[in-house]
């Protein structure tokens, strides 16, 4: 349960959730979610099978498993946590390795959460899908095919 107290305590608690998740322990994060959480990786499902909206902890677990099938997490570093009433925005730097080809992906992630009665009831994660698609798969979403080689 996310404490309803001073912003510093709430911020520290949220940072702890991300630290535990990045260390391979998703338990505290799942415990902080409402049973009927509205969850979304904001990404085109045509390239990122884990993208899209899911409802409930089971849906979140399905999405997380879909990410793990494609990427291993190298690191997640929380850069900032911003709180405003019942909303939280978490900015992160993250590194992943694409399981199929070993390609490295570095991403700036932004999570936007709504908290109600001490539980996360809505969570959306945003990232630069074009950059991630090019790094992971050599595929441009903008060009609709292989990414152009850098000019020499």
Q: Residue 15 belongs to what H/E stretch?
A: helix 7-22
What's the CATH number for 7-138? 3.10.450.50
Q: Where are the domains of the chain?
A: 7-138
Q: Residue 14 belongs to what H/E stretch?
A: helix 7-22
Query: What is the per-residue pLDDT across 2-32, written as a single tens digit (0 to 9) for each?
Result: 877 788 888 888 999 988 888 889 899 999 9
pTM, two decimals, is 0.89
Burial of 24 (0-12, 13-18, 19+ CB in 10 A): exposed
What integer pLDDT is reported at residue 62 of this predicted model?
96
Contact 90, 70 (CB under 8 A): no
């Amino acid at each position: 349960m996310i404490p309803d107290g001073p912003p510093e305590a709430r911020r520290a608690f949220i940072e702890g959730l991300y630290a535990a998740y990045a260390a391979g322990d998703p338990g505290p994060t799942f415990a902080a979610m409402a049973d009927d959480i509205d969850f979304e990786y904001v990404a085109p499902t045509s390239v990122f099978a884990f993208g899209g909206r899911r409802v409930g902890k089971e849906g979140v677990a399905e999405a997380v498993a879909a990410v793990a099938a494609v990427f291993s997490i190298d690191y997640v570093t929380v850069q900032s946590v911003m709180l405003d009433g019942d909303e939280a925005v978490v900015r992160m730097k993250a590194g992943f390795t694409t399981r199929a080809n070993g390609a490295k992906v570095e991403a700036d992630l932004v999570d936007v959460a709504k908290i109600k009665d001490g539980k996360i009831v809505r969570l959306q994660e945003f990232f630069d899908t074009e950059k991630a698609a090019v790094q992971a798969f050599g595929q441009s979403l903008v060009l609709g095919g292989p990414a152009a080689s850098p000019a020499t």
